Amino acid sequence: MLITSTDLSEFFSIYTVSDFSTIHMLTAIELILFSPILYLFVHYSLSILRTIPNKSLTTNIPPKKLVIIMSFRNEEMTLPLSLSPILDYIDSNYDSRLILIDSKSDDNSSLMARRIIEERTGHSVESTIFLSSKKGGKCAALNISFPYIENDEQVLLVDSDAIVSSVAIGKLRNSLSSEEIGCASGLERIRQDSGTFSRNYKIRSNAIRKYQSSISSSIVVEGSMLMFDPIRIGWNGFDESINADDAQISAKSIISGHRSVIVEGAFFKQITNSPDFQFSRSVRRGQGISSVLMKNPRLLIARGMFFETFRTWLLYIVIPWSVVMISFIASLSLVGQLIANQEIDGVFGVANSLFLLVLIFSQVGRSLFIGSVSMITAHYRIILGKSYSSWEPIR
């Protein structure tokens, strides 16, 4: 059976906006959906203008010993760059040691790690522990290391594709010398060759997180360089079905009555040749953070955390659906008007046209739409009970 233009016209006539009641209804729906986008846009735009309060932490306990944990999977090429600075730090700080975990690598990562350590002669050689995880997934790899952690040790998680410095590690340790801090994170040094949208987004995101850290806590931290005190926050292991180690630690820290902070000046460098945005990676991260938010509603009632939790919910759960639904309504309305030979005029028609033009032809619009689709994909994976039980670094 052939579909004629008359059939299409009759189908899309449902979505034409020839009467005021339909216009008012669709306009109201789109305004409701657009309001959280506008709120976060203004919040992000103003964040870079805020002055971070210059408050010093009360260091009321002596420094604890430190165990650095690095899990890796197929990182043969990055380990020579990421492992050496950590070993340098351990060789000059005898109260620290290293645990390395091979998470089902199928290259020569484990051999490379052992070779790097065997070529050294300092404290790091005798203090390093090698472990191997039979299960896939970063959280599964990290979980097998916790029986080897002593009660008087704080933990620094470092990704094997991140380069950290002794200065940055020292800043994190100094932050955790205050009992009010449960976990402290570094910040990725923004690459100058990254895209304009990615760079501007990271600048504003970092500004928000640093400001929020100065007054209370930040839920979104960096798992590539994250230090925490397991005893202080009552840590009892990672949920391996979520695979969002950083969000799990920050949520646990906040709920336990301690702060989760980004530390000013504690930078790390990401080793990567991959694009700024990667759909599968965005889905995996979005699923992890969304799962943590859904499983920890107590974040909303934690001291000073209502608005921070509310904004995080908007960013990762509400706004993606708003963007896609507005796009759907605008597309149907405009196609319906074109097929019905109606002129695109009025505030409603012009606004829809401008929204779709920005979405299609601007880098910001395309990134917003693709990012929203990736978050919705993550939400569907949560609903269907699918988890990321493994992780595959992409370079």
* Pairing of β 225-228 and β 181-188: antiparallel
Helix axes 20-47, 196-215, angle to 10 degrees: 70
77: exposed, middle or buried (C-beta count within 10 Å: 0-12, 13-18, 19+)?
A: middle
Average pLDDT over every residue of 56-60: 61
Q: What is the pLDDT of residue 329?
A: 86
The verdict on 31 and 89 lying in the same domain is: no
The verdict on 22 and 118 lying in the same domain is: no
Range of the domain at 227: 65-276
* Residues 172, 222 contacting (CB under 8 angstroms): no
Q: Could you tell me if residue 147 is inside a domain?
A: yes
The verdict on 35 and 69 lying in the same domain is: no
The verdict on 35 and 71 lying in the same domain is: no
pLDDT digits (tens, 9 = 90+) for 65-107: 999 999 999 999 999 999 999 999 999 999 999 999 999 888 9
Q: What is the pLDDT of residue 102?
A: 94
Q: Could you tell me if residue 57 is inside a domain?
A: no
Q: Which residue has the tokens 């990401």?
A: 270
The verdict on 152 and 265 lying in the same domain is: yes
> 3-class SS at 101?
strand
Q: How far apart are CA 110 and CA 58, in angstroms?
A: 41
Q: How far apart are CA 391 and CA 161, in angstroms?
A: 13
Q: Which residue has the tokens 């074109």?
A: 338
* Residues 248, 242 contacting (CB under 8 angstroms): yes
Q: Could you tell me if residue 85 is inside a domain?
A: yes
The verdict on 207 and 337 lying in the same domain is: no
Say if residue 394's pLDDT is above 50: no
DSSP E strands in 159-247: the ranges are 162-163, 181-188, 225-228
Domain-ending residue, one of 276, 294, 327: 276
Q: Could you tell me if residue 305 is inside a domain?
A: no
- Give 58's pLDDT tier (boundaries 50, 70, 90): low
Say if residue 213's pLDDT is above 70: yes
The Cβ of residue 7 has, within 10 Å, a number of other Cβ atoms equal to 11
- Give 395's pLDDT tier (boundaries 50, 70, 90): very low
Q: Which residue has the tokens 């507005």?
A: 326
The verdict on 35 and 73 lying in the same domain is: no
Q: String of b and e for 174-198 (b: at least 16 CB within 10 Å)?
A: bbbbbeebbbbbbbeeeeeeeeebb
Angle value at C-alpha 330, between 329 and 336, nearest 5 degrees? 90
* Pairing of β 129-133 and β 96-103: parallel
DSSP characters for 129-163? EEEEESS-SHHHHHHTTGGG--TTEEEEEE-TTEE
- Give 7's pLDDT tier (boundaries 50, 70, 90): low
The verdict on 272 and 162 lying in the same domain is: yes
Q: How many domains does the chain have?
A: 2
* Pairing of β 65-72 and β 153-158: parallel
Q: Which residues, listed in sequence order, are joined to residue 268 by a DSSP beta bridge? A: 188
pLDDT digits (tens, 9 = 90+) for 256-310: 999 999 999 999 998 875 555 578 888 888 999 999 999 999 999 998 899 999 9
The verdict on 95 and 226 lying in the same domain is: yes
Average pLDDT over every residue of 228-255: 92
128: exposed, middle or buried (C-beta count within 10 Å: 0-12, 13-18, 19+)?
A: buried
Tokens representing residue 206 in the block: 């970092």
Q: What is the pLDDT of residue 174?
A: 93
Tokens representing residue 175 in the block: 């932050």
Domain-ending residue, one of 221, 250, 276: 276
Residues 6 or more apart whose Cβ sits within 8 Å of residue 155: 66, 67, 68, 69, 149, 227, 228, 229, 230
Q: How far apart are CA 247 and CA 223, in angstroms?
A: 8
Q: Could you tell me if residue 241 is inside a domain?
A: yes
Choose between 233 and 282: higher pLDDT.
233
* Residues 72, 113 contacting (CB under 8 angstroms): yes
Q: Could you tell me if residue 173 is inside a domain?
A: yes
Q: How far apart are CA 383 and CA 375, in angstroms?
A: 12
The verdict on 121 and 222 lying in the same domain is: yes
CA nearest 334: which of 324, 347, 344, 322?
A: 344
Q: Could you tell me if residue 393 is inside a domain?
A: no
pLDDT digits (tens, 9 = 90+) for 119-169: 887 787 888 999 998 887 889 899 999 999 999 999 999 999 999 999 999
* Residues 13, 168 contacting (CB under 8 angstroms): no
The verdict on 83 and 213 lying in the same domain is: yes
The verdict on 34 and 72 lying in the same domain is: no
Number of H helices, E strands in the chain: 15, 8
Q: Which residues, listed in sequence order, are joined to residue 97 by a DSSP beta bridge? A: 67
Q: Could you tell me if residue 361 is inside a domain?
A: yes
Q: Which residue has the tokens 């205050």?
A: 178
- Give 243's pLDDT tier (boundaries 50, 70, 90): confident
Domain-ending residue, one of 214, 249, 276: 276
